[in-house]
């Protein structure tokens, strides 16, 4: 039974190892991509088969509830799109294609565990499984920029996970347990912030450690460099899946362990509200002056982390809004994930041809690659939050959740930020549609990449036009709380 419950994760772990072995055997490296995608599809299938199970595994450390399974599907789907988009890119990797796919699968496995674990030790291990895989992937190209990205990501990531572990140690010391249920039992008996300085310090350290993962201000400084230097498919994966995994953990930990005691949850709710306002403002304002599209999207991803944190704040400030805010976060992550992947896939295709990530080199792109430009424009419009896209519905839906928790001021900040963001997103659209192209040469792109771009754009449109199909699912998702 337990093996069935862990099916999605175990399947991926096995495929990750198998892909390395297969790499030794086959000459035609395209097989590896197909093989990995088969594994991911199998994992999605296993997740869907488990839907509604509500199982507990490994000594109560893992819960297989709808929340975890939703993220399993999200991560695996993101990984599939990333692998499809990598097919041109891996040509540059010469002898290491097997490892590339294996690391993506391992990172995905780690994220899946992150979404379903409710015990500090296993949170730490799954988080590190993800992070270490991603450190290597960030430095995978082994050229100067990529190595630099890998090193920065590794050093800052390790510092943040050390902070996280220290926070966990403090929480463990004050509550006597590492299981979220045990921690909650201890927190239930406490009262007042001033009386529990060690616990509060531990929680602050947790916020700092997790904040690094989701790239909130002031733990965002790694983002632009790593996003710029890392191989673009990896950047896409980082910006979508890694961020989603961070939110998956934060929401579960903070709700289950600290979310049901008003004296505590009010404080971290307000903390997240303030961080959200600062994060989105910093992300959007700094993005305005970027000249490199990957850095622009890096700051944009910081801003979006800010929007999503509005949902966390809503949960903290009003426990009764949990269902709405959680559903808002999940829908936003799904919509943002598809949108951002679409944008990065278009960028991968364009930079494969032009060899440049500078926005100036996108001038007149619509005449060299009409479909890619339309795809990129459409995803940028979704990131801005204009209809009829996933971004529009996601923002309205999440803003509404924040409003229901009494965060009118934060909603106003969010809306104004969307206005600021329109400026730099539409500037890229403008460059593509209005500029004079540097050359008239048409761009070529591979079949799998076009499939991935089409899939994500249609996904964005679908979520924008018929959001209710997905919102019904996200609203049905509940935590299995001990």
Partner 1 sequence: MVGLQHYIILSAVLFCIGLYGALAKRNAVIILMSIEIMLNAANVALVAFSRYVTPQLLTGQIFAVFVMTVAAAEVAVGLAIIIALYRQKEKVDVGEVDLMKW
Partner 2 sequence: MEFNFILSTIVFLPAVGAIIIALGRGLSPRGIKLAAALFTLLAFGLSLSAYFQFDSAPGGPLFQFREAASWLPSINSQYHLGVDGLSLPLVVLTTFLGIISVLISWKINLRPREYFAWLLLLETGILGVFTSLDLLLFFLFWEVELIPMYMLISIWGSGRKEYSATKFVVYTIFGSALMLVGMLALYASAGTFDIEALAGMNLATVHTVIPLAAIFFLIFMAFAIKLPVFPFHTWLPDAHTDAPTAVSVILAGVLLKMGGYGMIRISVTLFPTVAKEWAPLLVILAVGSVLYGAAVTLRQTDLKKLIAYSSVSHMGYVLLGIFALTQVSLTGAALQMVSHGVVTGLLFAMVGVVYDHSHLRDLSKLGGLARQMPVAAVVFSIAGMASLGLPGTSGFVAEFVTFVGSFTSKAFDGIQFYTILGVVGIAVTAGYILWMLQRTFYGPPQEKFAGVLDAGGVEKVAIFSFVVAIMLLGVYPAVVTGVLGAGIAPVVRLLGG
Binding site for partner 2 (CB under 8 A): 324, 327, 366, 381, 386-388, 392-393, 396-397, 399-400, 403-404, 406, 408, 411-412, 415-416, 418-419, 422, 426, 429-430, 433-434, 467-468, 471, 475
Longest pairwise C-alpha distance within the chain: 70
**Which uninterrupted H or E stretch holds 442?**
none
269 binds, among partner 2, partner 1, none (CB under 5 to 8 A by kind): none
Query: Residue 388 Cβ, how far from partner 2 at the closest point, in Å?
Result: 7
If contact means CB under 5 to 8 A according to the sort of partner, which of partner 1, partner 2, none does residue 289 touch? none
Is the CA virtual torsion 326, 327, 329, 330 positive or negative?
positive
Provide the total of helices (H) and of strands (E) in the chain, helices listed first. Answer: 21, 2
Q: How far is the CB of 292 from partner 1 (least distance, A)?
A: 9
Partner in contact with 190, chosen from partner 2, partner 1, none, beta carbon below 5 to 8 Å by kind: none
Closest to partner 2 by CB, 336 vs 397, is 397
Nearer to partner 2, 268 or 392 (CB): 392
Which residues contact residue 381 at a Cβ distance below 8 angstroms, ignoring those fewer than 6 apart?
389, 391, 425, 429
Give dist(CA 67, CA 474) in Å, integer.
8
| Among candidate residues 114, 123, 118, the one with its CA nearest the CA of residue 9 | 114
Residue pair 389/381 in contact (Cβ under 8 Å)? The answer is: yes
Write down the least CB distance from residue 161 to partner 1, Å: 8
- Nearer Cβ to partner 2, position 82 or 325? 325
Q: CB of 355: closest distance to partner 1 in angstroms?
A: 16
Of the pair 29, 66, the CB lying nearest partner 2 is at: 66
Torsion (CA) 78, 83, 86, 91 in degrees, nearest 10: 160
Nearer to partner 1 by Cβ, of 128 and 475: the residue is 128
Q: How far is the CB of 327 from partner 2 (least distance, A)?
A: 7
> Residue 56's beta-bridge partner residues?
63
Q: Which residue has the tokens 């498919």?
A: 233
CB of 420 to partner 1, least distance (A): 21
Give the C-alpha separation, 178 to 176, whole Å. Answer: 7
3-state secondary structure of 133: helix
Nearest residue to 106 via CA among 78, 80, 134, 138: 134
> Which of the choices partner 1, partner 2, none does residue 435 contact, using the CB cut-off of 5 to 8 A by kind?
none
481 binds, among partner 1, partner 2, none (CB under 5 to 8 A by kind): none
The least CB distance from residue 406 to partner 2, in Å, is: 8
Rounded to 10 degrees, the C-alpha dihedral 118/121/122/128 comes to 130
Binding-site ranges for partner 1 (CB under 8 A): 120-121, 124-125, 128, 132, 135-136, 139, 142, 144-145, 147-152, 154-155, 158-159, 161-163, 165-166, 168-170, 172-173, 176-178, 224-225, 228-229
Neighbouring C-beta atoms of residue 316, cutoff 10 Å? 27
The item of partner 2, partner 1, none sharing an interface with residue 128, based on CB under 5 to 8 Å by kind, is partner 1
Q: Which does 288 bind (CB under 5 to 8 A by kind): partner 2, partner 1, none?
A: none
If the CB atoms of residues 51 and 172 are measured against partner 1, the closer one turns out to be 172
Please give the structure tokens belonging to residue 70: 């939703």
- Provide, rounded to whole angstroms, the least separation between the CB of residue 168 and partner 1: 8
CA distance 46 to 65: 13
Q: Which does 142 bind (CB under 5 to 8 A by kind): partner 2, partner 1, none?
A: partner 1
* Distance separating alpha carbons of residues 4 and 11, to the nearest angstrom: 10
For 429, the token pair is 């659209």
Nearer to partner 1, 77 or 223 (CB): 223
Of residues 302 and 393, the one with the C-beta less far from partner 2 = 393
Tell how strand 55-57 and strand 62-64 pair up: antiparallel
Q: Select from partner 1, partner 2, none the partner in contact with residue 151, using the beta carbon and a kind-dependent cut-off of 5 to 8 Å.
A: partner 1
What's 338-401 look like in SS3?
Answer: HHHHHHHHHHHHHHHHHCCCEHHHHCCHHHHCHHHHHHHHHHHHHHHCCCCCHHHHHHHHHHHH
d(CA 123, CA 49): 24
Residue 442 partner contact from partner 2, partner 1, none using kind-dependent CB cut-offs of 5 to 8 Å: none
Q: Between 301 and 417, name the residue whose CB sits nearer to partner 1.
A: 301
* Identity of the residue, 201 or 396, whose beta carbon is nearer to partner 2 in the bound complex: 396
Q: How far is the CB of 200 from partner 1 (least distance, A)?
A: 15
How far apart are CB 465 and partner 2 at their closest, in Å?
A: 9
């Amino acid at each position: 039974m337990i093996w069935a419950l862990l099916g999605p994760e175990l399947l991926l772990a096995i495929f990750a190892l198998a892909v390395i072995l297969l790499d030794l055997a086959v000459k035609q490296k395209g097989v590896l991509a197909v093989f990995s995608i088969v594994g991911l599809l199998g994992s999605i299938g296993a997740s869907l088969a488990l839907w509604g199970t509500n199982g507990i595994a490994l000594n109560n450390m893992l819960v297989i509830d709808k929340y975890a399974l939703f993220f399993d599907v999200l991560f695996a789907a993101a990984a599939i799109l990333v692998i499809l988009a990598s097919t041109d890119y891996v040509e540059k990797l010469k002898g290491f294609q097997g490892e590339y796919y294996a690391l993506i699968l391992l990172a995905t496995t780690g994220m899946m565990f992150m979404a379903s674990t409710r015990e500090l030790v296993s949170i730490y291990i799954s988080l590190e499984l993800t992070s270490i895989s991603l450190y290597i992937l960030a430095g995978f190209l082994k050229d100067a920029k990529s190595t630099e990205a890998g090193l920065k990501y590794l050093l800052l990531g390790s510092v943040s996970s050390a902070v996280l572990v220290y926070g966990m140690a403090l929480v463990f010391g004050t509550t006597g347990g590492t299981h979220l249920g045990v921690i909650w039992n201890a927190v239930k008996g406490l009262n007042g912030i001033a009386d529990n300085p060690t616990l509060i310090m531990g929680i602050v350290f947790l916020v700092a450690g997790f904040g690094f993962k989701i790239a909130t201000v002031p733990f965002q400084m790694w983002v632009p460099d790593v996003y710029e230097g890392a191989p673009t498919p990896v950047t896409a994966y980082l910006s979508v899946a890694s961020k989603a995994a961070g939110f998956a953990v934060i929401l579960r930990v903070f709700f289950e362990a600290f979310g049901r005691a008003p004296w505590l949850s009010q404080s971290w709710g307000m903390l997240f509200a303030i961080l959200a306002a600062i994060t989105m403002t910093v992300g959007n304002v700094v993005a305005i002056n970027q000249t490199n599209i990957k850095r622009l999207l890096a700051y944009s991803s910081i801003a979006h982390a800010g929007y999503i944190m509005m949902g966390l704040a809503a949960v903290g400030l009003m426990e009764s809004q949990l269902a709405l805010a959680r559903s808002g976060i999940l829908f936003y992550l799904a919509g943002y994930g598809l949108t951002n992947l679409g944008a990065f896939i278009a960028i991968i295709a364009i930079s494969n041809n032009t060899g440049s990530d500078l926005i100036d080199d996108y001038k007149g792109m619509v005449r060299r690659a009409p479909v890619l430009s339309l795809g990129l424009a459409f995803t940028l419009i979704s990131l801005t939050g204009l209809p009829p896209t996933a971004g529009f519905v996601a923002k309205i839906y999440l803003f509404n959740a924040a409003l229901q928790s009494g965060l009118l001021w934060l909603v106003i900040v969010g809306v104004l930020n969307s206005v600021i963001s329109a400026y730099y997103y539409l500037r890229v659209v403008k460059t593509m549609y209005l500029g004079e192209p540097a050359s008239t040469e048409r761009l070529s792109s591979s079949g799998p990449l076009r499939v991935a771009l089409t899939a994500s754009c249609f996904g964005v449109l679908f979520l924008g036009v018929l959001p209710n199909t997905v919102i019904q699912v996200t609203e049905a998702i509940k935590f299995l709380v001990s």
